[in-house]
């Protein structure tokens, strides 16, 4: 009787390496957003010409959007969608300037303008998601108006009167809740996703998930960061013709790069603010 061959155990299973390196979501302190702004201001001072170019671009978008809202409010959503389409690509140019400066490279305007071309698929998908969110936000706002104004949509002046009329507090509260929920979702998805796409050439879904993780692990600090963004933009728009955006636009763009670098740590990363 022949003996059975000795049993040979299979080699141990070794999982394939992941395409995306492991990352760590850092715990942030409340001083972090102010450090990001300080680092962004340093980038602006180091390259005022490039930052000024993007500041003018953001300012022109705000001027066009405001003019359309005042003259033809029915086209406001269309122009806002166009701004949302162009804005992330402009912001990526500022991230590229900060990325190069942090890496010890010399930034230049041409490379910052075209830095998105190698990330077009991921950027296109993320921008599409943001536009869909913006359209849903607009539709939800129309529903709120329809519920509280059964005589039809008010005019532009009527909208402003309705918002600032204390007697319409129920409408203001509902509008603020709906708008705040969508604003929070958009901010959570985009807080660090575009800088991550630029830095790691990752897909839009992974970048958006990472951004949500940053928001989840550092909710209070990221809310502070969002409040600073809103306050700076609001103060800029309060100035005549919104000229404050010439400074706050690039400042927040550079600062967002450092928000990503401060919140997301990769293996062998250097320490950043």
Within a domain: residue 177?
yes
Within a domain: residue 12?
no
Within a domain: residue 217?
yes
pLDDT tens for 109-146 read 999 999 988 898 999 899 888 888 877 877 787 777 77
| Confidence (pLDDT) at 166 | 67
| Confidence (pLDDT) at 8 | 46
Within a domain: residue 8?
no
Are 192 and 222 contacting, i.e. CB atoms less than 8 angstroms apart? no
DSSP E strand stretches across 18-72: 24-25
| Confidence (pLDDT) at 268 | 63
| Confidence (pLDDT) at 197 | 94
Q: How confident is the model at residue 170 (pLDDT cuts 50, 70, 90)?
A: confident
Inform me whether the pLDDT recorded for 7 exceeds 50. Answer: no
Within a domain: residue 5?
no
Within a domain: residue 210?
yes
Nearest residue to 252 (alpha-carbon basis) of 233, 266, 271, 224:
233
Inform me whether the pLDDT recorded for 9 exceeds 50. Answer: no
| Confidence (pLDDT) at 54 | 96
Nearest residue to 40 (alpha-carbon basis) of 88, 87, 98:
98
pLDDT tens for 49-59 read 999 999 999 99
Per-residue pLDDT, averaged over 221-237, amounts to 94
Within a domain: residue 138?
yes
What is the domain count for the chain? 1
Nearest residue to 98 (alpha-carbon basis) of 240, 266, 235, 262:
262
Q: How confident is the model at residue 147 (pLDDT cuts 50, 70, 90)?
A: confident
Domain ranges, residue 95: 29-265
Q: For residues 196 and 70, which has the higher predicted lDDT (pLDDT)?
A: 196
Within a domain: residue 161?
yes
| Confidence (pLDDT) at 216 | 95
Are 268 and 107 contacting, i.e. CB atoms less than 8 angstroms apart? no
Inform me whether the pLDDT recorded for 20 exceeds 60. Answer: no
């Amino acid at each position: 009787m022949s003996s059975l061959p000795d049993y040979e155990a299979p080699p141990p299973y070794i999982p394939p390496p992941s395409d995306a390196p492991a990352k760590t979501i850092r715990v942030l302190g409340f001083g972090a957003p102010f450090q990001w702004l300080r680092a962004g201001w340093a980038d602006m001072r180091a390259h005022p010409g490039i930052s000024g170019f993007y500041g003018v671009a953001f300012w022109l978008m705000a001027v066009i959007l405001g003019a359309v809202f005042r003259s033809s409010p029915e086209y406001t959503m269309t122009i806002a969608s166009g701004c949302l389409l162009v804005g992330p690509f402009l912001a990526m140019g500022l991230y590229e300037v900060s990325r190069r400066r942090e890496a010890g490279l010399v930034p230049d305007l041409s490379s910052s303008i075209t830095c998105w071309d190698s990330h077009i698929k991921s950027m296109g998908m993320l921008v599409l998601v943001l536009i869909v969110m913006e359209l849903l936000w607009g539709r939800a706002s129309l529903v709120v108006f329809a519920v509280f104004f059964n005589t039809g949509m008010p005019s532009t002046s009527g909208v402003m009167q309705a918002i600032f009329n204390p007697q319409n507090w129920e409408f203001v509260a509902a509008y603020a809740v709906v708008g705040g929920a969508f604003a929070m979702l958009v901010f959570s998805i985009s807080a660090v996703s575009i800088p991550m796409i630029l830095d790691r050439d990752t897909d839009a879904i992974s970048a958006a998930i990472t951004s949500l993780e940053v928001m989840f692990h550092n909710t209070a600090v990221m809310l502070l960061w969002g409040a600073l963004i809103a306050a700076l933009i609001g103060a800029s728009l309060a100035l005549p013709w919104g000229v404050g955006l010439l400074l706050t636009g690039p400042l927040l763009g550079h600062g967002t790069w450092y928000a990503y670098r401060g919140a997301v740590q990769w293996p062998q990363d250097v320490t950043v603010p």
